[in-house]
Amino acid sequence: MLKGKTVILGVTGSIAAYKIANLASMLVKLHCDVHVIMTRNAMNFIHPITFETLTNNRCLVDTFDRNFQYNVEHVALAKKADLVLVAPATANVIAKLTYGLADDMLTTTVLACTCKKIVAPAMNTRMYQNKIVQDNLRKLEMNDFEVIAPATGMLACQDVGEGKLPDAEVLLDYVLKEIAHEKDMEGMNVLVTAGPTQEAVDPVRYITNHSTGKMGYAVARACMLRGAKVTLVTGQTSVGKPPFVEVIQIESAREMFEAVCSRYEQQQLIIKAAAVADYRPQFVSEEKVKKSGEKLVLELERTDDILKFLGEHKKRGQFLCGFSMETENMLENSRGKLHKKNLDMIIANNLKEDGAGFGTDTNVVTIITEKKEIPLSIMSKEDAANCILDEIMVEIRGKQNGYC
């Protein structure tokens, strides 16, 4: 995911420095070229050899180290970097960066960088809340730094409050958001639906389906990584929520209909990946339904057809993509749905095909438009999501240029 990308990790003198070893390892596993620069105080908490072992690059500390491979270290590395993350960032280093002080290898290099710069403060709660520190952070943001808000919890000093360095997984999300993918969807508003709906029978029971939401969540995350502003309307699922995405939690098809219909007009792209129930109980009991015989008969009624509504009310310049889960006649049924619902694209898959269907980490889909049928081989749902988005962007650009 990060092959060909270079990230500088700046580690300063905080007890939280140990977390960056895990982050460095995560980045290397994603094929990122990772360079660590430490302040001398950071060496009191973690040894440079740790980072050198993890990254296979020399860990820099001394501005005037004559044994390093570059002639002018801070300038050469700054030119190479795609992103610099200072984490943990102490109040001291934050102050230096705010006022352009460059008295060590880290501050010198960061000031020479023209790439995206992120700082993740980590310190005692009272220090973090100090007006001077807060003013410095605001000034950094005014100068194109991004500041990651610290987590709240018990600190090394046993105080409880904000000031903890976020976990490595959170820091990784910030890195990926910036450099994992070309920002070809920058400025687009995208709405994605995902997961199952639950249609109540009584306060205890409901009707649902086997959808896990994995495909829709993969699509939402891929849109975010490509620069879109994403709203995810989702049913109940155990999948972790994608970062930097507005998540609207719903239960029933009616709730999803209302959530989508109240937001669809502002969207340039809508991708309906949710498995919405076609029917719901006509009558919902206020009390638990007791066993009263051999059979229980439920009268069902149709739910709101969200995709049909979107197709009938599609705005000029809006692109509408649906999903079609079939068990037979996949292409014929999906193409019929494409026309009937006034869709621009539909993603079809067969529940019975190996590697496709509910609950898997892979999918086998066919992308269908008015003029195309593009079958994809089995791949991860993340890769499938990006293949779908690639084709959507081709179609959108074609429509904008007037040849589709």
- Annotated binding-site members: 278, 288, 323, 337, 341
Identical fold between 6-180 and 189-287+299-398: yes
Predicted confidence (pLDDT) per residue in 268-326, tens digit: 999 999 999 999 999 999 999 988 878 888 999 999 999 999 999 999 999 999 999 99
pLDDT for the residue 5 = 97
State how far Cα 95 lies from the chain centre.
31
Predicted confidence (pLDDT) per residue in 38-47, tens digit: 999 999 999 9
Q: Active site residue: 32, 113, 115, 157, which one?
A: 157
How is the chain split into domains, by residue range? Answer: 6-180, 189-287+299-398
Predicted confidence (pLDDT) per residue in 190-199, tens digit: 999 999 999 9
pLDDT for the residue 64 = 58
- Annotated binding-site members for CTP: 278, 288, 323, 337, 341
| Structure tokens belonging to residue 279 | 């029917």
Dihedral angle of Cα 116, 117, 118, 124, to the nearest 10 degrees: -170
| Structure tokens belonging to residue 392 | 């959507």
Q: Are 56 and 34 in contact (CB under 8 A)?
A: no
- The DSSP-derived string for 209-268 is -S--SHHHHHHHHHHHHTT-EEEEEE-S--SPPPTTSEEEE--SHHHHHHHHHTTGGG-S
Residue 73 pLDDT grade (very low, low, confident, very high; cuts 50, 70, 90):
low
Residue 261 is among the residues annotated as catalytic for this protein: no
Q: Are 206 and 179 in contact (CB under 8 A)?
A: no
Architecture of domain 6-180: 3-Layer(aba) Sandwich (3.40)
In the CATH scheme, what is the homologous superfamily, with its name and number, of domain 189-287+299-398? CoaB-like (3.40.50.10300)
